[in-house]
């Protein structure tokens, strides 16, 4: 049991006098108290409450405080006044003290049993200053913010307060920690678009890369369908079952609909529908059993009844969707071959209840429009020639008694796209619509351009299995191993000359007169030239065969008349420059593939070429976005200017040319951005 306080009444009165003196303002007057008190160190500065259980010495509570505790006064800025005074007489050990707190809330008083315990208690109290009260401690008032003046206060020897003492009397008081700044309010979460619903999308197309390819249309359907499927949509493809298809590229081909009867003239043609996977793409193939043998032919195009063949295919595709109960969100059709699909949907199948689908038509080339006579109306069951020959529907502008299938697709579709923004502008406003400019102006609100992408799983030098040495941005020097392999295969001279290449159809659209001029101009400038291509026109083929024989003995030129898929990959990887001098170019895939392989494109500023290639010397774009050479005028001088600058940069500034190659390889023309553009279009027409 703790002892009771001892001492005479006079000594207790003396202690009270000392306590009264310590309550007076410090300063000069405060110095007088130092004669009667011992020097002490600074008190702990922590604002946390002191644990009463910190001292292990026996203590006792004062039954009655002689005087109500009051707040301690501010200390002076001098070193002496900043030190606390503590009475060390024999009766001072009985003086009660209270812990300091920022709120001046007094704790239960306690005394120290022995004079020697002062220092033990001060050490234990300083350790306890970082601890919170135990659950058994009496409750304290909430901690209040400290006034700035409180940080410099000195401890006083008040009988109702705890006295504390540090080990170093000369050390100045440390300022008490400031009130922690309030944490900033968390920023509102960034806006996240709600997850888009999965769409059911059906492509109706005459071509698909891998099984039935003639031009870029096949690559677009192949790449876009995969991108849409990757984004969580259900995508199916419907195309004819050609006899000339690559059946080795179709996995698990089997019948799924045996008795599809398609109206044709006054009767119906029996069809069978097959299903199979083409490189993981879900495909349906329609095979008609007719004496006309619409698709049982040695090639895809090139027949006099092509318009009737694809008019039947369009009707058969819609009949299959209707009979099989498929109601897609989007029907995406391509070029004039399937332009009758929206006409059939709105004239036949919507009145029958097929009201859900919306139609998007993509026009890959306005030069081919499917102009025909009135017979197609009778064959398909549309009839009413006076209705459809109207200029606001399908009547052709140039031939008054003819139908224009592509025009019908534009009028009846919910949205019409072409394959680059520049080509969309040229076809509507610069006379490249081949007579459809008024129709495009009428329907301009639903017309736009989306740049094509390329499939980086196929056209990628890092994983290309058709080239001897794979390479990428970090190993671009390996490209020159492919250049040596190309020279070896085509028996070109081994030297340091640049290789200029042309890959594509030998079609007047591709600027064949400029291609011919480029061959000789390249050789004159001390470079090599390689050509790979063919033409459906026998006269054009014969002309280039004659050119091949003329240059056959040149060690710096090779013309390959025909098409070889593996050789095309090697040319993209081994050539230094790719020539694309088109008269007009809706988009063009050649320059996009060349960019991916670090082969610098030399192009004319038309259509998609102007949207994807930016001149090294004259473009307004930043340097890191410039990736090729561009000329504007369709003439020899324009070609020579761009081609000459490219060859000169290769010869005279190899470091600049290497930077240009790296810029080209960094260009992103995958299907990532076009895929999102088409999804935005689908959402637009679904909500309309």
Kindly report the three-state secondary structure assignment for every residue of 199-264. Answer: CEEEEECCCECCCECCCHHHHHHHHHHHHHHHCCCEEEEEEECCCCCCHHHEEEEEEEEEEEEEEE
Cα 369 → chain centroid:
36
Distance in angstroms (rounded) separating the CA atoms of residues 669 and 594? 11
Q: Is the confidence at residue 464, as pLDDT, over 90? A: yes
Of the listed ranges 178-187, 276-285, 616-625, the least confidently predicted one is 178-187
Nearest to 328 by CA among 286, 369, 282, 260: 282
Are 200-449 and 473-670 equal in CATH topology? Answer: yes
Q: Which residues pair with 260 in a beta bridge?
A: 271
Q: Is the confidence at residue 559, as pLDDT, over 80? A: yes
Of the listed ranges 120-129, 201-210, 215-224, 635-644, the least confidently predicted one is 120-129
Q: Which residues pair with 261 in a beta bridge?
A: 270
> Which two structure tokens, joined as six digits, stand for 334?
């391509």
CATH of span 200-449: 3.40.50.2000
What is the rounded average pLDDT for all residues in the chain?
81
Q: Is the confidence at residue 623, as pLDDT, over 90? A: yes
Of the listed ranges 27-31, 178-182, 275-279, 582-586, the least confidently predicted one is 27-31
Residue 194's Cβ-count burial label (10 Å; 0-12, 13-18, 19+) is exposed
Q: Which residues pair with 531 in a beta bridge?
A: 502, 559
Mean pLDDT of 100-119: 40
Cα 402 → chain centroid:
46
User: Which region, left, alpha or beta, applies to residue 223 given φ > 0 means left and ψ of -120 to 50 means alpha?
Assistant: alpha
CB contact at 8 A, 345 and 266: no
**pLDDT number for residue 178:** 66
**pLDDT number for residue 594:** 98
The residue whose two tokens read 């310590």 is 22
CATH architecture of 473-670: 3-Layer(aba) Sandwich (3.40)
Q: Is the confidence at residue 577, as pLDDT, over 60? A: yes
The whole-model pTM stands at 0.72
| Domain parsing of the chain, residue ranges | 1-134+151-163, 200-449, 473-670
**pLDDT number for residue 121:** 42
Q: Which residues pair with 520 in a beta bridge?
A: none
Confidence of residue 187 (pLDDT cuts 50, 70, 90): confident
Of the listed ranges 4-8, 397-401, 593-597, the least confidently predicted one is 4-8
| 213 belongs to an annotated ligand binding site | yes
State pLDDT tens for residues 144-172: 444 434 444 443 444 444 444 444 445 55
Distance in angstroms (rounded) separating the CA atoms of residues 121 and 108? 16
Residue 25's Cβ-count burial label (10 Å; 0-12, 13-18, 19+) is exposed
Q: What percent of the chain has pLDDT over 90?
A: 69
Nearest to 414 by CA among 367, 319, 346: 346
Nearest to 482 by CA among 573, 594, 577, 558: 573
Q: Is the confidence at residue 58, as pLDDT, over 60? A: no
Confidence of residue 196 (pLDDT cuts 50, 70, 90): confident
Mean pLDDT of 333-343: 98
Confidence of residue 684 (pLDDT cuts 50, 70, 90): very high
Backbone angles phi, psi at 91, to 5 degrees: -90, -10
Backbone angles phi, psi at 419, to 5 degrees: -95, 15
**pLDDT number for residue 563:** 85
């Amino acid at each position: 049991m703790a002892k009771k306080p001892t001492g005479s009444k006079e000594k207790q009165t003396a202690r009270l006098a000392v306590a009264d003196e310590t309550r007076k303002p410090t300063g000069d007057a405060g110095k007088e108290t130092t004669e009667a008190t011992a020097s002490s160190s600074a008190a702990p500065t922590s604002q946390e409450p002191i644990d009463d259980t910190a001292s292990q010495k026996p203590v006792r509570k004062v039954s009655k405080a002689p005087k109500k505790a009051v707040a301690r006064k501010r200390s002076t800025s001098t070193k002496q006044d900043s030190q606390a005074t503590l009475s060390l007489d024999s009766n001072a050990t009985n003086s009660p003290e209270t812990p300091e707190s920022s709120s001046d809330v007094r704790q239960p008083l306690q005394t120290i049993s022995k004079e020697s315990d002062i220092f033990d208690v001060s050490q234990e109290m300083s350790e306890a200053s970082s601890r919170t009260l135990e659950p058994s401690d009496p409750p304290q008032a909430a901690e209040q913010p400290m006034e700035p003046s409180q940080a410099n206060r000195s401890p006083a020897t008040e009988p109702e307060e705890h006295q504390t003492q540090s080990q170093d009397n000369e050390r100045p008081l440390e300022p008490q920690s400031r009130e922690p700044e309030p944490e900033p309010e968390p920023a509102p979460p960034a806006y996240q678009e709600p997850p888009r619903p999965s769409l059911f999308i059906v492509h109706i197309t005459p071509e698909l890369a891998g099984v039935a390819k003639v031009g870029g249309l096949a690559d677009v359907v192949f790449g876009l369908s995969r991108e849409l499927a990757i984004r969580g949509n259900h995508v199916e493809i419907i195309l004819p079952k050609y006899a000339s298809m690559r059946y080795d590229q179709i996995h698990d081909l089997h019948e799924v609909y045996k008795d599809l009867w398609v109206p044709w003239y006054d009767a119906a043609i029996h069809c069978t529908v097959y299903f199979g996977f083409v490189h993981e793409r879900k495909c349906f193939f329609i095979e008609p059993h007719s004496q006309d043998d619409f698709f049982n032919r040695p090639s895809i195009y090139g027949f006099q009844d092509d318009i009737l063949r694809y008019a039947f295919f369009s009707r058969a595709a819609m009949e299959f969707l209707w009979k099989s109960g498929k109601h897609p969100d989007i029907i995406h059709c391509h070029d004039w071959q399937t332009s009758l699909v929206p006409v059939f949907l709105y004239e036949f199948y919507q009145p029958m209840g097929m009201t859900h689908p919306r139609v998007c038509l993509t026009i890959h080339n306005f030069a081919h429009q499917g102009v025909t006579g009135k017979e197609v109306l009778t064959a398909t069951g549309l009839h009413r020639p006076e209705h459809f020959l109207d200029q606001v529907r399908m009547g052709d502008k140039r031939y008054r008694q003819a139908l224009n299938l592509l025009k019908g697709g534009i009028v009846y579709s919910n949205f019409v796209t072409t394959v680059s923004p520049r080509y969309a502008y040229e076809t509507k406003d610069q006379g490249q619509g081949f007579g459809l400019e008024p129709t495009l102006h009428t329907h301009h609100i639903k017309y736009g351009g989306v740049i094509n992408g390329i499939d980086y799983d196929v056209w990628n030098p890092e994983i290309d299995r058709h080239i001897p040495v794979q390479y990428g941005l970090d190993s671009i020097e390996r490209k020159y191993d492919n250049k040596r392999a190309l020279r070896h295969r085509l028996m070109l001279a081994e030297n340091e000359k640049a290789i200029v290449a042309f890959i594509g159809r030998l079609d007047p659209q591709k600027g064949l007169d400029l291609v011919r001029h480029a061959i000789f101009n390249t050789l004159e400038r001390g470079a090599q030239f390689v050509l790979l291509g063919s033409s459906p026109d026998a006269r054009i083929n014969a002309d280039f065969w004659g050119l091949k024989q003329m240059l056959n003995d040149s060690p710096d030129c090779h013309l390959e008349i025909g098409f070889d898929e593996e050789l095309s990959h090697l040319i993209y990887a081994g050539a230094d420059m790719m020539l694309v001098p088109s008269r007009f170019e809706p988009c063009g895939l050649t320059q996009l593939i060349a960019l991916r392989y670090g082969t610098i494109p030399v192009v004319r500023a038309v259509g998609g070429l102007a949207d994807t290639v930016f001149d090294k010397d004259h473009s307004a774009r930043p340097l890191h976005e410039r990736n090729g050479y561009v000329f504007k005028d369709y003439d020899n001088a324009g070609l020579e200017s761009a081609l000459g600058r490219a060859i000169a940069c290769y010869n005279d500034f190899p470091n600049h040319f290497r930077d240009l190659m790296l810029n080209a390889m960094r260009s992103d023309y995958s299907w990532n951005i076009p895929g999102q553009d088409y999804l935005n279009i689908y959402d637009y027409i679904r909500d309309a």
